[in-house]
């Protein structure tokens, strides 16, 4: 008997109208919409608090300030996207942003204000590549945490919504999904009218990343195996300023630090960004990341330094409490000394290809948030548009899913659960070396050849580590193949052998299994 059929003998069954895979901003926002139309199951691989949304520091952008306009937010987003944005998606994002923020405030989200009390004016900050102060923060640098809190509180208050935590989805099926309940090792057959992938990012495919450990590209890998179209996987944004202390996690030092005057310096103490871009330290992230790498190579340094000492410890502690206290716990006082920084994988512009309502190319399967590719970010995401993307397109997907009123047939997983015979560390090192900030044909072909040479072996039972290993293996292969096909440099994708942008490639890259 095939292994997949053997596993199915031990599956428990559960039904719902709508299945939401992922409990970040996009998933929770969709669940709020879906609760109006039926029963909703929100499934999370870890706790409900463990997602990229939870750790988002920078803020959320919206044209709400007196001197701002939706058209300016739209222009800034398109400029950052480097000629590859879906203009309709961008317009949808920025047009629906103000109402989405007001809705959050009505649900209890507390953004920073000029003084105490809800009647006080909201504080708007400026971040890299924004032409206006339009970025809202909560508690200084805990914006994602505050938005996730408000959304969870709203979702949990709705009848018909239930949560399944510490359960990893193995695969989506024709009428739902198969998930592993980690506590018992049992497999659950979940049947649903429609499924939403809201699984977040894929940063853990790389050795250096700011993402939480759960960001292993699960949703994209599942959609790929299910035959859905995948788009623009070559465009991975590397955040330029991850804390680079020996033995410490790669903690994100928000772009908002540079918005408040932090300066990047090399080992000689020189502020170097003006040599690389007219916007200096507020240049787009891909430019800053490559500039840091160039300076590291030029000065033979293991990292660069981010200097905000001019603002002093008191200001930094009040404006960025989470960042300040985390660094202080690691022995670094940002008010007295610069922080060692190094780029790290941060955000994927590509993913499961969808329309503006989250529909994928496969009937009944939807995607929203970082796992999806609407084209809203083009080749490079504008700072503080990611939480907004989850809100706007999570809500739109939730509304669109309600239209499906007939279940499709339930199919068991069509393939054996085969796991690559390598370690996750080997894959992450390979991806960082050959699919990272600087790429070329030789390195990409080497990565693809190595991945194609890996044996995949069947396992006799599902386990979280095995599920994640299979997913990052497939994601690394997709990134390498997409990057090899795009023979130009655009946005976050930089080829040293094709350093210029080409009109030939001014279009989306799309692949589908088979």
* CA 1 to each of CA 181, 458, 461: distance values in angstroms, whole numbers, following the listed order: 23, 13, 14
Which of these, 433, 257, 226, lies nearest to 339 by C-alpha position? 257
DSSP 3-state of 308: coil
Looking at the DSSP bridge assignments, the partners of residue 407 are none
CB distance 178 to 189 below 8 Å: yes
User: Phi/psi at 329 (nearest 5 deg)?
Assistant: -65, -25
Q: For 260-417, where are the alpha helices, taking DSSP H only?
A: 285-299, 312-319, 321-329, 386-401
Torsion of CA 13, 18, 22, 26, to 10 degrees: 180
Using alpha carbons, select from 131, 252, 188 the residue that is nearest to residue 16.
Answer: 188
Contact 369, 393 (CB under 8 A): yes
- Cα 504 to chain centroid distance, Å, stands at 28
Of 351, 400, 391, the C-alpha closest to 218 is 351
Angle 481-482-484 (CA atoms, 0-180°, nearest 5)? 65
DSSP structure class, residue 367: E
Rounded to 5 degrees, what are φ and ψ at 5? -70, -35
Q: Is residue 159 helix, strand or coil?
A: coil
Catalytic: which of 191, 258, 285, 495?
Answer: 285
Query: What are the strands, taking DSSP E only, across 1-139?
Result: 11-15, 18-21, 40-43, 60-61, 124-125, 135-136
Three-state secondary structure along 466-481?
Answer: HHHHHHHHHHHHHHHH
97-108 b/e (C-beta count within 10 Å ≥ 16 → b): beebbebbeebe
DSSP element (H, E) containing 187: strand 186-191
Q: Would you give the end-to-end CA distance of the chain in angstroms?
A: 26
Q: Which of 77, 132, 175 shows the shortest CA–CA distance to 411?
A: 175
285 is catalytic: yes
Q: What is the dihedral of CA 417, 422, 425, 428, to 10 degrees?
A: -70
Q: Phi and psi for 496 in degrees, rounded to 5?
A: -65, -25
Total residue count of the chain as it appears in this document: 514
- Which residues, in sequence order, are CB contacts of 423 under 8 Å at separation 6+? 469
Among all residues, which ones are annotated catalytic? 285
């Amino acid at each position: 008997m095939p292994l997949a059929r053997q596993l199915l003998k031990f599956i428990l069954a559960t039904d719902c109208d709508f299945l939401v895979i992922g409990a970040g901003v996009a998933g929770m926002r969709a669940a709020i919409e879906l609760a109006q139309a039926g029963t909703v199951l929100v499934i999370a691989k870890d706790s409900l608090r463990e997602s990229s949304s939870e750790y988002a520091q920078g803020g959320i952008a919206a044209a709400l300030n007196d001197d701002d306009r939706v058209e300016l937010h739209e222009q800034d987003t398109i400029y950052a996207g480097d000629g590859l944005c879906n203009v309709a998606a961008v317009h949808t994002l920025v047009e629906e942003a103000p109402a989405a923020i007001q809705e959050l405030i009505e649900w209890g989200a507390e953004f920073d204000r000029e003084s105490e009390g809800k009647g006080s004016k909201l504080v708007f900050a400026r971040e890299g590549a924004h032409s206006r102060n339009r970025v809202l923060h909560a508690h200084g640098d805990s914006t994602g945490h505050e938005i996730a809190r408000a959304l969870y509180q709203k979702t949990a208050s709705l009848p018909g919504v239930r949560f399944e935590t510490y359960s990893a989805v193995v695969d989506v099926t024709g009428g739902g999904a198969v998930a592993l309940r980690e506590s018992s090792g049992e497999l659950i057959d979940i049947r649903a009218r429609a499924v939403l992938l809201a699984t977040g990012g894929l940063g853990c495919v790389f050795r250096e990343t700011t993402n939480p450990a759960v960001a292993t590209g699960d949703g994209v890998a599942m959609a790929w195996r299910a035959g859905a179209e995948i788009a623009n996987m070559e465009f991975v944004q590397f955040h330029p300023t991850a804390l680079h202390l020996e033995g410490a996690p790669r903690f994100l030092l928000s772009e908002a630090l540079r918005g408040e005057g932090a300066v990047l310096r090399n080992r000689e103490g020189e502020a170097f960004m003006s040599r690389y871009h007219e916007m200096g330290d507020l240049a787009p992230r891909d430019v800053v990341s490559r500039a840091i790498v160039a300076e590291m190579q030029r000065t033979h340094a293991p990292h660069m330094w981010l200097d905000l000492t001019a603002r002093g410890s008191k200001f930094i502690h009040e404006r960025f409490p989470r960042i300040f206290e985390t660094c202080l716990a690691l022995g670094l006082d940002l008010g007295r000394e610069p922080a060692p920084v190094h780029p790290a994988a941060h955000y994927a512009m590509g993913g499961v290809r969808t329309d503006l309502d989250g529909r994928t190319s496969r009937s009944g399967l939807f995607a929203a948030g970082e796992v999806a590719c609407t084209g809203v970010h083009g080749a490079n995401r504008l700072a503080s548009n990611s939480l907004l993307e989850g809100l706007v397109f999570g809500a739109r997907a939730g509304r669109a899913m309600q239209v499906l009123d007939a279940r499709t047939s339930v199919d068991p997983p069509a393939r054996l659960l085969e796991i690559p015979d390598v370690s996750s560390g080997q894959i992450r090192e390979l991806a960082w070396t050959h699919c990272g900030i600087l790429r070329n044909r030789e390195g990409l072909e080497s990565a693809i050849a190595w991945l194609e040479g890996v044996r995949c072996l069947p396992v006799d039972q599902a386990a979280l580590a095995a599920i994640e290993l299979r997913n990052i293996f497939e994601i690394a292969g997709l990134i390498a193949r997409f990057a090899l096909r795009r023979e130009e440099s655009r946005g976050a994708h930089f080829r040293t052998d094709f350093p210029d942008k080409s009109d030939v490639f001014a279009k989306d890259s799309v692949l589908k299994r088979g």
